[in-house]
Structure 1
């Protein structure tokens, strides 16, 4: 699979386009999807699905426009649905734009196929109750949203956050992946399972 990164929106959230055999998946379109649409057209790619790691506004702002432009449906976990009643899901606070309303289909953890390649969906709460991780073994990559970053972890002080749950999610679902697995986060540079397992300061002795 080919993976391209697009930092989008006011918080420069990493949005990812996965391409495989003419099909594409978008993970977390957090802003104006125009660059994504140009990329899809230039590559002759058909967008099959939009995946949300969680439903915070900076990961979903482009959901509606991208879905309407391509016909792709949106998948997320219903445990984050309560966020639609808060500024964390709607935006609009601190001068941030409102997120256009969108609809999604509930996605539960398990084995599935996106863009013709296998994906394991993990439920990885902590940053939010409905946070998901998308692991594509053939690509050697896991899309972790704001669960874990290079040498850091996602915030747990927002409503619905839980530090102990986040640490369990990482140790049970992320650190058990092959050490060379790329971790593609919602913000900042990519890292790897082995690197974070050995050097992330939040997991010493957990």
Structure 2
């Protein structure tokens, strides 16, 4: 599986283009998806799904356009649906762009297949109630949105956030993965499970 990163939108959110055997999946198109659409066209890829880790405005800004241009369905957790009735989901505050509404399908945690590969969808609340993480074991990669970052964690001071819940999500769903698993985050550089278990200061009480 090839993984390409595009920094999209006003907060330079990491949008991931996953591709294999002529098919592609996009994770969190947070802004104008023109660059992603260009990559799809240039490489002759068919977009099969758009995956959202959560419904904060900076992760969904390109949903509508990308879905309209490709016909790919948007999959996300309905537990975050309420956010699309707030500025946190819709944007529009502090000069930030407003989100164009989009339709989506609820995806349940558990076993799924994308690009012909196994994918486990973890329910990982804490940053938002409906936060999801997408784990591809054959690629040794997990896409976590704003759950955990390199040596840090996602904010929990937004409505619906909870620090203890976030820590539990990370320890139960992410830190139980093999140490070499790459963690692809919503902002900033990628990291891996082993490094975060050893060095993330928010988990200094975590026993290896």
TM tier, shorter chain?
over 0.9
Residues matched between the structures, number: 206
Equivalent residue, structure 2, for 1:180: 180
Equivalent residue, structure 2, for 1:126: 126
Equivalent residue, structure 2, for 1:143: 143
**Offset from partner CA, 1:28-81 (integer Å, 9 cap, x none):** 000001000010111110000000000000000000000000000000000000
Equivalent residue, structure 2, for 1:6: 6
TM-score by length of 1: 0.99
Equivalent residue, structure 2, for 1:35: 35
CA contact (8 A) 1:32 1:61 kept: yes
CA shift, 1:116, in A, is: 1.2
**Offset from partner CA, 1:145-171 (integer Å, 9 cap, x none):** 000000000000000001000000000
Counterpart CA distance in 1 for 2:24 and 2:147 is 23
Counterpart CA distance in 2 for 1:91 and 1:108 is 26
Local SS of the residue matching 1:79: helix
Counterpart CA distance in 1 for 2:41 and 2:116 is 19
Counterpart CA distance in 1 for 2:114 and 2:46 is 12
Counterpart CA distance in 1 for 2:55 and 2:30 is 10
CA shift, 1:10, in A, is: 0.3
Equivalent residue, structure 2, for 1:117: 117
Local SS of the residue matching 1:47: strand
Local SS of the residue matching 2:92: coil
| Structure 1 residues without counterparts, runs of 5 or longer | none
CA shift, 1:95, in A, is: 0.4
Counterpart CA distance in 2 for 1:128 and 1:39 is 30
Counterpart CA distance in 2 for 1:146 and 1:128 is 9
CA contact (8 A) 1:23 1:116 kept: no
Counterpart CA distance in 1 for 2:71 and 2:117 is 20
Q: Following superposition, which runs of at least 4 residues in structure 1 exceed 2 angstroms of deviation? A: none
CA contact (8 A) 1:76 1:105 kept: yes
Equivalent residue, structure 1, for 2:22: 22
Equivalent residue, structure 1, for 2:157: 157
Counterpart CA distance in 2 for 1:138 and 1:35 is 27
Counterpart CA distance in 1 for 2:85 and 2:168 is 27
CA shift, 1:115, in A, is: 1.5
Local SS of the residue matching 2:113: strand
CA RMSD of aligned residues (A): 0.5
